Structure 1
Amino acid sequence: MKKTLLLLILVALAFQGSAQITTFILVRHAEKASDGTDDPDLRSEGLERAGKFAALFKNTSVDAVYSTRYKRTRNTVAPLAQQKGLEVQVYDAAKPETIDAIISKYTGGTVVIGGHSNTIPQIANLLTGKDEYKTFPDTDYGNILIVTVLERGKAAKVTWLNY
């Protein structure tokens, strides 16, 4: 009986040890310019915020950096990507399967995703399997959601920062 119990405990510990946590750092783009287009760049305040974002994660290991195709999201995460020697990869926020592909590719790693006031909460909800996160106000640029995921939609925790 004792040997069976010990064996079950060892198997459970081995299985638990094989589960890998993937960390997502989700950031809404910084302050955007109003240039009359649907793809504005960042204002000077936004460029400053992008630099602060890079500084905040200076000592964090990052495996990949993603952004939507827009200048404002790309330029928010670009200083961090450059600091880490990574290319900013484009993802399609309208396709939730993209997040599954990122999880598969970077299981156990850390991924930064730049998005928008509506897409960052949507991604957090997808990762956690809950409908807790709502669209950020249009004037709120300082949100970072750090989501640690064992299994998408089931085993996830969120730390919400403001910078």
Structure 2
Amino acid sequence: MRHAEKMTDQGNDPELTEQGKKRAENWVNYFFLKDVDHVISSDFKRTKATASPLAKAKKLDIELYDVRNATGKSLLQEYRGKTVALFGHSNTINKYANELQNDSIYKELNDADYDHYFVVRVDKDGNSNAVKEKIDFVD
């Protein structure tokens, strides 16, 4: 998932807006009946704040990853066989999905797009399939 709505007047590492905080809480509802083994986030205030409610609800720590060095393949290698909720950015989550399915179908998300996310499934043979989905949590 991309981080939720961010403040626009706080520089390169902004906090979430009130709407963003609501969206972060709504991810808990989305994952309510789903097993989650790991909640991972880039090391930015907005992504950690988006991941925090889910991590708390699932009684998991937020695991940080280095957004500058992470790739879809490196994330898969580290978390293979696990269900992971990854919180990233409009210009990274599409890259991970593309890399895992060996194509470039998904473009960067528009800066105002907080409704799309990617579901990536890896079968027992290591074949990956990514699907871009949309959900609107906030009125």
Counterpart of 2:95 in structure 1: which amino acid? Q
Structure with higher helix content? 1
Preserved contact between residue 67 and residue 73 of structure 1 (Cα < 8 Å): yes
1:13: which partner in 2? Answer: none
Preserved contact between residue 2 and residue 93 of structure 2 (Cα < 8 Å): yes
TM-score by length of 2: 0.88
TM-score by length of 1: 0.76
Q: State how far apart, in whole Å, the 2-side matches of 1:151 and 1:28 are.
A: 27
15, 38, 57: which is aligned to 2:12? 38
Partner of 2:103: helix, strand, or coil?
Answer: coil
Cα displacement string for residues 34-75 of structure 1 (whole angstroms, at most 9, x for unaligned residues):
233210010000000111111111111011111111011111
Cα displacement string for residues 52-102 of structure 1 (whole angstroms, at most 9, x for unaligned residues):
1111111110111111110111111111111111111111122145x4444
| More off after superposition, 29-38 vs 82-91 | 29-38
22, 25, 29: which is aligned to 1:51? 25
Preserved contact between residue 29 and residue 72 of structure 1 (Cα < 8 Å): yes
Cα displacement string for residues 103-142 of structure 1 (whole angstroms, at most 9, x for unaligned residues):
3343222011101110011111111111111111000011
41, 47, 60: which is aligned to 1:67? 41
User: Residues 127-142 of structure 1 correspond to what in structure 2 (within 5 A)?
Assistant: 127-142=100-115
Give the unaligned 5+ runs of structure 2: none
Q: CA RMSD in A?
A: 1.9
Counterpart of 2:97 in structure 1: which amino acid? A
Q: State how far apart, in whole Å, the 2-side matches of 1:123 and 1:100 are.
A: 8
Give the unaligned 5+ runs of structure 1: 1-26
* Number of residue-to-residue matches in the alignment: 135
Q: State how far apart, in whole Å, the 1-side matches of 2:48 and 2:31 are.
A: 16
Q: Give the 4+ runs in structure 1 shifted more than 3 A.
A: 99-102
2:127: which partner in 1? Answer: 155
Q: Which has the higher contact order (CA 8 A, sep 6+)?
A: 1
Q: Does residue 115 of structure 1 match 2:85? A: no
